[in-house]
C-alpha cells in the first residue's frame, strides 16, 4: 500500500470536507456551474423521480397485492425465478367451474356457471400475457435507465462536485497566498537592520514559492473541473435519447394494453352470445313462475270469498233463528191463536219469515238463498203473509201498531 498516496487522499478528503462545511455555513465561496449544465441536471433528476413513480404504479397495476410484489422483488434480488402465481380472473373461473359442477352440469344454471368460469380463465390467461409483455417491453427499459444510465450520471455528478470542491480549495489557497504576499510587501516597505532583512527576504521567497504553487494547483484544478463538466454534460445530453426510448416503450405498452382489451372484449362477447342462448329458458321460467303466482293468488281470493260467504250465511241464519224464537214466546194473544189455526206448512213458513206490519203495510225480509228448504219455506211464508195483509181491515195507526200481535186470524180472515 502506498502510504504517500493514502496521506494525499486523506488530506484531500479533509480539505473537501472543510470547504463543503464552509459553503454550507456561508463562510466560503462556491463556484457555480454553467446554467445549461444545471438545467440538464434538473431534467435528469425529474426524469429519474417520475420514472420511479411510473414503474411503481405500473407494478401496482399488474399486481395489486403488496405481499406478492415484495415477494417478487425478493426473488429478483436473489436472482431466483419467481413461482407462477394465479391471476384473480383465473381464481374466479375455478370457483365458477366448481360451483357449476356442484350445482349440476345438466341444469341451465350449472351450465351457465361452467361457461362463465371458462371465459374467466381465458381472461386470466390474457392478463398474464399482458403482464409478461409489459415487464419485457415497458418496465425493463425504464429500470435500465434508473439502474444504469442514471447511476452513471450520478457518478459523473459526484466527480464534478469533487472537482469543484478541489477548485474552491485551490482558490482559497491562492487567495491566502496573495494576502500573505501583500502583507510581506507592506513589511518590506519599512527599512530595518540587515539581519532582519535577510530573514524577511527568506520569508518572501518562501511565500513566493507557495504562491506559485497555489497558482499551479489552481490551473490544474480548473482544467480538471472543466474536463469533468464536459463529461457530465455529454452524459446528461443522453437524456434526450433516453426520452425517445421511453416513448417507444410507452407505445409498446399501449399496444399490449390494446391487445389485452381486445382479447377481453372478444371473450366477453363470446360469453354474452352463449348466455343469450339461455334467455329463452329464463323467459319460460319467468312465465311459468308468473302463471303459478297468478293461479295461487286467484285460488286464495276464491277461497277467501267462499269463507266470507259461509260466515255471512251462518250469521244470517243465526239472526233469523234468534228472531223466530223471540216471536214464538207463549202468550194468550189472538195472533198466536190464529197462527195455530193455520195449516202446519203455513204456520212454519210464518215463523221463518220475518214479516212486520207497519201502518197497514207488510214488509217481508227475505233470507239469502242458502238452503233449498229454507228458501221454499220463506217464499210460502211471504205469500201467506201477503194474503193476511190484504184481508186485514184498515184501522188507525195507533191500533195497528198496538194490535199487530193481538188480532186472531182464521182461514186468512180477521175475526
For the chain, give the mean pLDDT.
73
pLDDT at residue 86 in the model: 87
DSSP code per residue over 350-363:
HHHSEEEEETTEEE
The segment with the largest mean pLDDT, out of 152-166, 332-346, 366-380, is 152-166
pLDDT at residue 285 in the model: 59
Q: Average pLDDT, stretch 155-168?
A: 90
Domain positions in the chain: 12-26+34-276, 328-414
Helix (H) or strand (E) holding 189, with range, is none
More confident residue, 180 or 157: 157
Residue 49 has pLDDT above 90, yes or no: yes
Considering the chain, what percentage of its residues have pLDDT values greater than 70?
63
pLDDT in tens, 231-244: 999 999 889 999 99
User: Would the CA dihedral through 350, 352, 353, 358 be positive or negative?
Assistant: positive
pLDDT at residue 118 in the model: 92
State the pairing for strand pair 409-410/361-365.
unpaired
pLDDT at residue 375 in the model: 42
pLDDT in tens, 83-94: 888 888 999 999
pLDDT at residue 255 in the model: 94
316 band by pLDDT with thresholds 50, 70 and 90:
confident
Using alpha carbons, select from 47, 75, 74 the residue that is nearest to residue 141: 47
- Chain position carrying cell 303466482: 293
pLDDT at residue 397 in the model: 41
CATH superfamily membership of 12-26+34-276: Arfaptin homology (AH) domain/BAR domain (1.20.1270.60)
**Contact of 290 with 282, CB cutoff 8 Å:** no
More confident residue, 28 or 157: 157
pTM value is: 0.59
Helix (H) or strand (E) holding 107, with range, is none
Residue 379 has pLDDT above 70, yes or no: no
More confident residue, 262 or 390: 262
State the pairing for strand pair 413-414/354-358.
unpaired
Instruction: Using DSSP, state whether 414 is helix, strand or coil.
Output: strand
CA pair distance 110, 117, nearest whole angstrom: 11
Q: Average pLDDT, stretch 273-285?
A: 69
Q: What are phi and psi of 235, to 5 degrees?
A: -65, -35
Amino acid at each position: 500500500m502506498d502510504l504517500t498516496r493514502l496521506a494525499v487522499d486523506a488530506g484531500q478528503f479533509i480539505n473537501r470536507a472543510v470547504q463543503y462545511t464552509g459553503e454550507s455555513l456561508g463562510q466560503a465561496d462556491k463556484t457555480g456551474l454553467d446554467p445549461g449544465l444545471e438545467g440538464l441536471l434538473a431534467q435528469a433528476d425529474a426524469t429519474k423521480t417520475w420514472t420511479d413513480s411510473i414503474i411503481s404504479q405500473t407494478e401496482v397495476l399488474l399486481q395489486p397485492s403488496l405481499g406478492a410484489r415484495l415477494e417478487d422483488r425478493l426473488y429478483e434480488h436473489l436472482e431466483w425465478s419467481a413461482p407462477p402465481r394465479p391471476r384473480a380472473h383465473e381464481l374466479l373461473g375455478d370457483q365458477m367451474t366448481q360451483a357449476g359442477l356442484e350445482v349440476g352440469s345438466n341444469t341451465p344454471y350449472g351450465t351457465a356457471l361452467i361457461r362463465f368460469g371458462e371465459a374467466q380463465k381465458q381472461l386470466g390467461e390474457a392478463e398474464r400475457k399482458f403482464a409478461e409483455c409489459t415487464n419485457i417491453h415497458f418496465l425493463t427499459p425504464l429500470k435500465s435507465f434508473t439502474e444504469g444510465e442514471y447511476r452513471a450520471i450520478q457518478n459523473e455528478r459526484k466527480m464534478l462536485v469533487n472537482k469543484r470542491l478541489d477548485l474552491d480549495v485551490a482558490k482559497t489557497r491562492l487567495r491566502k497566498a496573495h494576502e500573505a504576499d501583500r502583507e510581506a510587501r507592506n513589511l518590506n516597505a519599512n527599512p530595518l537592520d540587515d539581519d532582519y532583512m535577510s530573514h524577511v527576504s527568506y520569508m518572501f521567497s518562501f511565500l513566493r514559492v507557495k504562491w506559485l504553487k497555489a497558482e499551479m494547483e489552481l490551473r490544474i484544478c480548473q482544467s480538471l473541473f472543466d474536463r469533468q463538466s464536459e463529461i457530465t454534460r455529454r452524459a446528461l445530453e443522453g437524456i434526450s435519447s433516453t426520452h425517445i426510448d421511453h416513448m417507444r416503450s410507452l407505445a409498446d405498452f399501449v399496444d399490449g394494453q390494446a391487445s389485452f382489451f381486445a382479447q377481453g372484449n372478444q371473450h366477453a362477447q363470446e360469453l354474452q352470445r352463449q348466455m343469450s342462448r339461455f334467455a329463452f329458458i329464463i323467459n319460460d321460467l319467468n312465465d311459468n313462475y308468473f302463471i303459478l303466482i297468478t293461479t295461487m293468488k286467484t285460488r286464495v281470493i276464491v277461497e277467501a270469498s267462499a269463507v266470507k260467504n259461509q260466515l255471512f250465511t251462518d250469521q244470517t241464519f243465526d239472526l233469523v233463528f234468534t228472531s223466530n224464537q223471540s216471536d214464538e214466546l207463549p202468550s194468550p194473544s189472538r195472533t198466536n191463536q190464529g197462527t195455530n189455526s193455520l195449516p202446519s206448512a203455513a204456520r212454519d213458513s210464518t215463523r221463518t219469515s220475518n214479516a212486520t206490519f207497519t201502518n197497514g203495510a207488510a214488509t217481508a225480509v227475505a233470507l239469502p238463498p242458502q238452503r233449498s228448504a229454507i228458501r221454499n219455506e220463506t217464499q210460502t211464508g211471504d205469500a201467506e203473509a201477503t194474503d193476511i195483509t190484504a184481508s186485514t181491515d184498515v184501522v188507525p195507526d195507533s191500533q195497528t201498531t198496538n194490535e199487530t200481535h193481538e188480532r186472531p186470524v182464521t182461514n186468512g180472515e180477521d175475526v
